[in-house]
Amino acid sequence: MNSKEGDIAARYREHTGRKRTYILAGLVLLFVASILSIATGSVDIPPMDVVRTLAGYSVSTTWDSIIWNVRLPQVLTAIVAGAGLAVSGVVMQSILRNPLGSPFTLGISNAAAFGAAFSVIILGAGSTSSRIGDAVTINNPYVTTVAAFVFAMLVTAIILMFARIRGTTPEVMILVGVAMGSLFTAGTMFLQYFADDVQLASMVFWTFGDTARASWEELGLITAIVAVSIVYFIFNRWKYNAIDAGDETAKGLGVNVERVRLWGMIWSSLVTAIIVAFLGVIGFIGLICPHMARRIIGDDHRFLIAGSIVMGSLLLLCADTVARVMMQPYQLPVAVLTSFLGAPTFIYLILKGRRI
């Protein structure tokens, strides 16, 4: 067998070509899902009219307003946030050499939630304005967002600082992250205990991650950060493959492992922090989507990064759509659904999978 020169290379190209096809198929699926998601809600719009409206041909002014002001930003937010969370997860899993690496497990989300609670109680950012399906709004969302962001980045800084003192080993980062996570959870509970009804409601409300929260401007900011980080991660795709082969192999291949690890952590934390700060805590996407992508296209980061992005977008978009229509007229925050679905999916993957 394999007598002819170029035979193995040809079969290898076929193998990588298949991975490209999967990613392409995922993108097509994502596009279709986006149209359907825009079409679905308390008012159903025929999908063809959605396409027409998006292409710039106005079908009716009501639909124009629903699509452009409500549904499209929400769909795009789900896509961008799903992509961002999944890509930070996949990178953290690689640089921390741990399948449990994710913004969630490292305490970054918990710290952001604490930041939000802190802003509500101490900085007085919470208030009531009851309406159906949306019990409490936060009257000064930017204070909450900034506080959540600051605390998320604070945890990252602490993790990196400890890693610097004890040597940048993945174990140290994970352990410090877990410790930080429980510390901030305790902090949040402490604040909640002394909160009044209104404040408590504001805090809890914030904690539910919700894609309907972002305006066009906020979406723009999130997209910019997610896009830049994706470019950075793709640029480093070979280095993540090398680190997967072990630190020593990577160093032997000329990779500055410590530096890749440090900057990978900084970028993935930044992406998580910005998403959590604007949308609240959306669990499990960062952990599960990379693993689902791994099962389909393997661990090669040349394809895995793109695969995780598509998977993250697709999953969060679908979850978001279901959450929107599941209990009409109430719109559930998507985070309730991702955690609901996430946990069993994850256990299924562990039981069924070759390894996580």
Contact set with other proteins (CB under 8 A): 1-2, 5-9, 11-13, 15, 97, 238, 241-242, 244-246, 248-249, 251-256, 294, 298-300, 354-355
Confirm if 197 and 120 have CB atoms less than 8 A apart.
no
Q: Smallest gap, in angstroms, from Cβ of residue 97 to other proteins?
A: 8
Smallest CA-to-CA distance from 147 within 249, 277, 57 is with: 277
By beta-carbon proximity to other proteins, the closer residue of 1 and 55 is 1
Nearer CB in complex with other proteins: 18/186: 18
Give the integer Cα–Cα distance in Å for 50 and 68.
10
Closest CB 256 distance from other proteins, rounded Å: 6
In this complex, which beta carbon is closest to other proteins, that of residue 253 or of residue 322? 253
To other proteins, the closest distance from the beta carbon of 299 in angstroms equals: 4
Q: Which is nearer to other proteins, 15 or 123 (CB)?
A: 15
Main-chain dihedrals φ then ψ at residue 167, nearest 5 degrees? 90, 135
- The Cα 212–Cα 49 span in angstroms is 22
Q: How far is the CB of 163 from other proteins (least distance, A)?
A: 18
Residue 280: other Cβ atoms inside 10 A: 25
Q: Which is nearer to other proteins, 15 or 60 (CB)?
A: 15
As a whole number of angstroms, the distance between CA 281 and CA 333 comes to 10
Minimum distance from residue 2 beta carbon to other proteins (Å)? 4
160 and 266 Cβ atoms separated by less than 8 Å: yes
Query: Based on CB atoms, which residue is closest to other proteins, 220 or 353?
Result: 353
Minimum separation from the CB atom of position 93 to other proteins (A): 10
The 10 Å CB-count burial string (b at 16+, else e) for 123-136 is eebbeeeeeeeeeb
Q: Where are the strands (E) in 27-184, listed by range?
A: none
